[in-house]
Amino acid sequence: MVIALIACGVMAISGINPWLVLVLLVVWSGSLILAAVTPPPAAPPPRRSAFSEASISELIEHSSTPLLMTNRNRVSIANEAARRVLGNHIIDQDVRVAFRHPEAVALLQRDGPGSATIHGLARRKDIYLMNRQVMDERFAIIELVNQTTEAQVSRAHTDFVANASHELRTPLASIIGYVETLQDDGDSVPQATRKKFLDTIQAEATRLQSLVSDLMSLSRVEAEKHEEPDEQVALKQLIETAARDAAGLERNAQIAFDCTEDVVVQGDERQLEQLVRNLVDNALKYGAPGAVVSISLDRPEANRARLRVTDQGEGIAPEHLPFLTRRFYRTDPGRSRAYGGTGLGLAIVKHIVERHRGLLDISSELGRGTTVEIRLPISLSA
């Protein structure tokens, strides 16, 4: 400024047009004034909420729980899990497109937070718990909790208890019936009939006993399911003993055992014995009477032992195969009971195989017979 004044003074003295000097002075000092004043603060950025849509989206994207954010009546964000359940199309759609179940619609139209259980959200048989948290008058967060498995587990549990009670009651009913008959008019019953009654009572009592012991082993195997078995078991001897044991003296000749090499696996000796017993027992029971049951043990891969039990029975229809290891599942209930089966044999086998990290495979051809194949990992350290 001072420099500008002095310069203009010099110019005026040196005889330059005073008007020109004046204009120069005004422009010069004016520009200096403009430059000196700090520019007015820029308009403050539009006030954003503490969160932005992008940051929320990033935050919830990888959560394994399905999460959605709604903006008024639209879905504005849905994380990966939610898109997997409801489909990719729901983004930016009306929330009712994502949740059309009447209970869900009622929940969405409510002002405050809340939750509802939705049957048949994405698939017809699934069950989800839907939690809705309202953030403000525009935004709400919806969380979905899949309860399908829980419902199935609790249902399986109820079914099991119902089945088990039913199975226990049936032999008891006939035992009680026959005992009552013998008590009431035992003297008038001919000797032969009385013998028949007593035999039935004994057969039913035996069945009850084996059912209870099967139930106990099943629950024991299930309880130990997550503990790795730690014994070194040589399979050849074990299989042979268990198979002969299952066959008993009178059916011993029906067993053909073929073993190329002995294999040692890490396992639970008692359980593996039971596994073989159950398989051989099944094969003898459902195979053709008198026909040979062949058992073989080999080692098709370096780290797997393979046990096969093959019968020559009438085979199992393919539609039954997926359910054979279910508890109390029977392809032919009448026949199974006649043989004293408990309906638990293969369920126990399955659990034992699972505990040994093995594989169970059942193949069957109608009219030809059934082969049960079990592969067990071999402990290479042994």
| Residue ranges in contact with another protein by CB under 8 A | 46, 48-49, 52-53, 73-74, 87-90, 92-102, 104-105, 120, 122, 124, 138
Distance (Å, rounded) from C-alpha 364 to C-alpha 358?
20
The closest alpha carbon to 148, from 175, 168, 120, belongs to: 120
Count how many residues are written for the chain: 382
Tell me how far the alpha carbon of residue 382 is from its chain's centroid: 34
Distance (Å, rounded) from C-alpha 190 to C-alpha 328?
37
Nearer to another protein, 138 or 225 (CB): 138
The closest alpha carbon to 26, from 48, 1, 49, 47, belongs to: 1
Strand, coil or helix: what is 185? Answer: helix
Tell me how far the alpha carbon of residue 281 is from its chain's centroid: 31
Nearer to another protein, 99 or 178 (CB): 99
Distance (Å, rounded) from C-alpha 351 to C-alpha 364?
21
Q: Enter the tokens of residue 219.
A: 């629950």
Nearer to another protein, 88 or 381 (CB): 88
What is the smallest separation between the CB atom of 144 and another protein, expressed in angstroms? 16
The closest alpha carbon to 273, from 308, 245, 231, 313, belongs to: 245
**H or E element in which residue 294 lies:** strand 293-301
Nearer to another protein, 135 or 182 (CB): 135
The closest alpha carbon to 78, from 3, 136, 143, 138, belongs to: 143
Task: Give the largest CA-CA distance in the chain.
Answer: 159
Nearer to another protein, 126 or 269 (CB): 126
Nearer to another protein, 114 or 340 (CB): 114
The closest alpha carbon to 68, from 51, 52, 85, belongs to: 85
What is the smallest separation between the CB atom of 175 and another protein, expressed in angstroms? 30
What is the smallest separation between the CB atom of 98 and another protein, expressed in angstroms? 8
Nearer to another protein, 89 or 357 (CB): 89
